[in-house]
Structure 1
Amino acid sequence: MHWLCPWILTIGTLKSVICSYLEDQCSWRGSGLSLEAGSVEQVSLHCAEGSVEWLYPTGALRLSLVPRQPLAALSPGPSSLTACIKPAASFRGAQLYLEREGLLELLLSEAEPALRPRVHCFSWLPRQKVALFLQATPHRDISRRIAAFRYELRGDWDGRLALPLNKLSMEGACRPCNDTEILMAVCTSDFVVRGNIRTVVNDAELQQSVIGISATRVHRQKFTLFQPRGHSVKSLGDIRTPLSCGVKPGPGSFLFMGWVHFGEAWLGCAPRYKDFRRVYEAATQAHENPCEIVLD
């Protein structure tokens, strides 16, 4: 569906705005070759996650973040929303800006090193209007230029039962979960896995620790994160956490719970299994469990 739109912003030498509205989509893929010089392609993204791939960037692309579900569905009573952007290693040909209340803030420069793409996150209040603005950078040869990234959108990523953001150093991310948080994590996490720590590998550049897990029981996993590898009978998988948490390998059985962030498992809570069982059984006896899980 195409129609002319009124002037909504002026950046650089842009003189007119031509909008192309595509309804109810999570991801968008298109070419700058279809744009007229000095025009802006207008797209609405209606999902909690998806991807954008802009081939041969010319002109500009404006992406409105309009989740299809009510804000309450993203998080109970969210006071803010958070979006994260992960550029493809091949990101070329454009600069990515955050447009908030009519002002632009540079999120991703074309000059940023692409070998290990960094996740960029930002938050806003429910009443604020935000969009992502991709502006093509001038190049004589655009045949190998592709501006591509993935996005995720959730409510109230607070670092405790959710995910660390930009620098993986949010306050409280390393604090042990209390009893209430443990019980809620069992119900709401993307994965709930009982297992042991095999290895811990620290990545100083990304400021992450990668915990190698040997799972004795996979209670739930939203995505296939833990599965047998090679000749192993047990399911194996990796969980990430901020390097600042100082995770070290050690004996014992744990219940690992957390969230999936751009296809990677991130740790939320990890009580020792005996401690979890004590908390769970006490809550069950008091009829205070928010959900049920089968114990060994």
Structure 2
Amino acid sequence: MLAMLWPSAALWITAVLLTGRAEAQYSSDQCSWRGSGLSQQQGSVEQISLHCSEGTLDWLYPKGALRLTLSPRLASAAVGPGGSSSSGLITACVKPSDQFNGAQLYLERDGLLELLVGDRIESSPPPRVRCFSRLPGERLALFLQATPHQDISRRIASFRYELRGDRTARMSLDSNSINSEDACRPCNDTEILMAVCTSDFVVRGNIRSVEEDENLRAAVIKVSTTRVFRQKYALFTGSSRLASRGEIRTLLQCGVKPGPGSFLFTGRVHFGEAWLGCAPRYKDFQRTYAQAKAARQIPCELPVD
């Protein structure tokens, strides 16, 4: 990690504050920027504004520097699991390409630079996903600076990014920076009911096996689904809606093991992969849902058995 002074933060990642139990949510629009450093002068800084909640940046033949403004169009606030009533916390994550090189990516926070991704040499392992959070009143920016090379013809600094208003982004993708006790604790009844309404996927299924992905430091849960209630992308596929398979990732330290029984799996999609949120046993969810429905306290309807 590298921190140094940098004049006047000019780039902001904008967000909205949480009010009550409402949570900031971003639109799902994709956007990207692709450009070449060949048209830039050495030492120049190009200003770029990306108006979306997720997208990509490809900088070919890096030269000079880029200043990135992330200003996504905000969708209406929605309640989500794990949200805070007063923090206004927004999480952003960047996922460098496996061949990221020719530049260094910094987070600028209130005039200080923190190194997120260093210039990668060929023998280095692939860079990891890095996440950071914005609190109300903080100044944030992304600063991409080219590193000097005699031959820039094969250099490409490329990464994907996401902005989220929920806790699962950091928990899923940047496990160096989280408290494993918080990440692995079971959801309470309120969080389960909220997860059903706001998750990117909601499926009923069984655990076939659990494998380890050492590169991601994640456990990959192989799931056979008996019902797909909702999925944002084609994560669980098969011959029919009632017979499909898919993969869900969670942190290694959570110690997920294969076992009998039916579960309700919910969670978020990060960089095209499903990450686990709340996952109660289906019979426990049925009981919680029935009690909340009888008390007229369910936030949304789900056609349970």
Band the TM-score falls in, shorter-chain normalisation: 0.7 to 0.9
CA distance in 2, matches of 1:220, 1:232: 10
Cα deviation for residue 123 of structure 1 reads 1.1
Which residue in 2 is equivalent to 1:285?
A: 294
* Identity of matched residues, %: 63
Q: Per-residue CA shift, 1:95-128, capped at 9, x if unaligned?
A: 1111111211111001377654310011121322
State the secondary structure of the residue aligned to 1:293: coil
CA distance in 2, matches of 1:62, 1:102: 14
Which residue in 2 is equivalent to 1:238?
A: 247
CA distance in 1, matches of 2:247, 2:126: 18
CA 162–258 in structure 1, closer or farther in 2 if over 3 Å, else same? farther
CA contact (8 A) 1:259 1:266 kept: yes
1:39-78 aligned at under 5 Å gives the runs 39-69=44-74, 72=77
Which residue in 2 is equivalent to 1:14?
A: none
CA contact (8 A) 1:163 1:259 kept: no
Q: Per-residue CA shift, 1:109-155, capped at 9, x if unaligned?
A: 01377654310011121322211111101111111110000001112
State the secondary structure of the residue aligned to 1:180: helix
Which residue in 2 is equivalent to 1:257?
A: 266
CA distance in 2, matches of 1:74, 1:48: 18
Within the candidate set 148, 161, 166, 2:174 is matched to 166
CA 150–213 in structure 1, closer or farther in 2 if over 3 Å, else same? same
| Unmatched segments (≥5 aa) in structure 2 | 1-5, 11-28
CA distance in 1, matches of 2:47, 2:66: 6
1:152 partnered with 2:158: no
Q: TM-score, normalised by structure 1?
A: 0.85
Cα deviation for residue 9 of structure 1 reads 4.0
1:1-296 aligned at under 5 Å gives the runs 9=7, 26-69=31-74, 72=77, 79-111=88-120, 115-155=125-165, 157-159=166-168, 163-167=171-175, 169-170=178-179, 171-228=181-238, 234-296=243-305
Amino acid at match of 2:152: I
Larger mean Cα displacement after TM superposition, 168-177 or 243-252 = 168-177
Q: Per-residue CA shift, 1:216-268, capped at 9, x if unaligned?
A: 11000011100017x99821100001111110000111100000111110100
Max Rg structure: 1
CA distance in 1, matches of 2:284, 2:170: 21
CA distance in 1, matches of 2:294, 2:124: 53
| Unmatched segments (≥5 aa) in structure 1 | 1-7, 11-16, 18-23
Amino acid at match of 2:60: L
CA 73–138 in structure 1, closer or farther in 2 if over 3 Å, else same? farther
Cα deviation for residue 31 of structure 1 reads 0.6
Cα deviation for residue 79 of structure 1 reads 1.8
Cα deviation for residue 164 of structure 1 reads 2.8
Cα deviation for residue 69 of structure 1 reads 1.7
Amino acid at match of 1:68: R
CA distance in 1, matches of 2:292, 2:269: 27
CA contact (8 A) 1:163 1:268 kept: no
CA contact (8 A) 1:90 1:114 kept: no
State the secondary structure of the residue aligned to 1:186: helix
CA distance in 1, matches of 2:59, 2:265: 38
Cα deviation for residue 205 of structure 1 reads 4.5
CA contact (8 A) 1:47 1:68 kept: yes
CA contact (8 A) 1:81 1:126 kept: no
Aligned residues: 274
CA 212–25 in structure 1, closer or farther in 2 if over 3 Å, else same? closer
